Amino acid sequence: MSLTTELISDSSQLDKATIDCWNSLAANPLQRWEWLGSWWHAYQGQHTLYVLLVKRGDEIVGIAPWCMENRISTGRTVVFLGSGKACTDHLSLLCRPGDIEPVCNALAQWLNETALGESIKMPRELTWDAIELIGGDESDERLNVFANQIERTGLTVKRTAGDGCYVIDLPEQWEQYVAQRSKSGRRELRQSIKNVDDGTVVIHTVQNEAELEQYWDDFVDLHQRRRHASGTTGCFDHPPFDQFIRRAASEMLKSGMLRMAVAIHDDTPIAAMFAITDAESLYFYQSGMNPDEAKLRPGSTLFCEGIRNSINEGRVRFDMMRGDESYKLRWRAQLHPSQEIRICSPRASAQIRNQVYSIGISFKNLIKSGLATFQPSGELP
């Protein structure tokens, strides 16, 4: 049976059966509706829903979890739900392994036909100029097949490396992980975990909505204090992000996928960690700590306890998510490369926008490169 593709541009069209199917096709918790739907709830004022359902008869066999935003630079641009400030990782198309080829082919054909306006007519406000998919893994088969199928239709595709994720492959025993660290690293782990084992720091894991409400303001405050102490702004300085992550925490808690741990010393929260879990992985998303309590190593203590608990609960990965912060290598995390896929519509106006945008990006990168390599006399690089 041939596949059909349907555009959903209004969230009221996403009924319970569709959401249940969405979650059944998701490969990880960050692709589930609890997470992406919470993002949509917070950011919908800046976007138009652009979810594509691929069907075999009445059965949904594939989903493109997208939305559209209007940009000066690239026009009507299709992006992943969960993108932007939320920095969601491991995003992809949703389908079962056996349906990857036909689903990607159906999506590519639909996008080509709607861009050209040949067999499928679209309202102007829903006609796409560009597609920008950020947050997918370089090894993701669904995205790679999709990009190849798009190229076969003749559309312009550009694939570049993105900011990768750093992942710790967990052994079967905590002491095996400790043994992997350097001498100073082993000392750091044992000093940090000792704070938990001797009761100096109590780690409390949020269990219900009442506790989430109880500790939420502490989590936000600790996150902001850490960021402001380093001279940078925090995510919670942006109101839509606060709305998104609070709702996502509640929805993930209901599904049993939230791990929010609070480090408490003398009855006062001094650090907090926000993570999402499934049977195989813990996805470390955000944290915060009181810089005045650095002597107690609250951040390291929470990390240690998170890794130890993950091992004890049978997980095989501790995912530290996107970003090349130096501390991640110290914890023996390995780089998992990501990719960014950009597709340009064949319409003349979109092609012109794309050329102007590409020239601007190239010029900006050239300037950055020049500044990066120039060193004032007498200064080391």
pLDDT digits 0-9 by tens, 260-279: 999 999 999 999 999 999 99
d(CA 55, CA 195): 54
Give the per-residue pLDDT at 347.
85
d(CA 110, CA 306): 44
pLDDT classification of 379: cutoffs 50, 70, 90:
very low
d(CA 93, CA 216): 32
pLDDT score of 207 more than 60? yes
Q: What is the mean pLDDT of residues 307-318?
A: 97
Identify the three-state secondary structure at position 267: coil
Give the per-residue pLDDT at 121.
76
Tell me which of 381 and 71 has the higher pLDDT. 71
pLDDT score of 247 more than 50? yes
Amino acid identity, residue 301?
Answer: T
d(CA 355, CA 358): 5
Domains of the chain: 3-164+339-373 (3.40.630.30), 171-315 (3.40.630.30)
pLDDT score of 338 more than 90? yes
pLDDT, averaged across the chain: 90
The maximal CA–CA distance of the chain, rounded, in angstroms, is 71
Give the per-residue pLDDT at 360.
64
Identify the three-state secondary structure at position 37: helix
d(CA 357, CA 230): 33
Give the per-residue pLDDT at 123.
87
d(CA 304, CA 301): 5
d(CA 301, CA 311): 15
Question: Tokens representing 306?
Answer: 């998170």
pLDDT classification of 111: cutoffs 50, 70, 90:
very high
- The percentage of the chain sitting over the pLDDT mark of 90, rounded to a whole number, equals 77
Give the per-residue pLDDT at 374.
28
Q: What is the DSSP letter of 377?
A: T
Helix spans in 44-173 (H): 100-116, 141-152
Give the per-residue pLDDT at 353.
83
**102, 145 contact by CB (below 8 A):** no
**Sheet of strand 156-169: strand arrangement:** 48-49, 66-71, 75-80, 130-137, 334-344, 156-169, 317-322, 281-289, 268-277, 258-265, 202-205
d(CA 86, CA 43): 10
Amino acid identity, residue 85?
Answer: K
d(CA 12, CA 364): 41
> Exposed (0-12), middle (13-18) or buried (19+): which is 240, by Cβ within 10 Å?
middle
Query: Could you tell me whether strands 268-277 and 258-265 are parallel, antiparallel, or unpaired per DSSP bridges?
Result: antiparallel
Which of left, alpha, beta for 378 (phi over 0: left; psi -120 to 50: alpha)?
left
> 290-315: string of b/e by CB count within 10 Å (b at 16+)?
beebeebbbbbbbbbbbbbbbbeeeb
CA angle 32, 33, 39 (to 5 degrees): 110
Q: What are the distances in angstroms from CA 170 to CA 28, 108, 139, 205, 270?
A: 18, 38, 20, 21, 27
pLDDT score of 234 more than 90? no
HSE-CB of 15 using CA atoms within 13 angstroms? 2
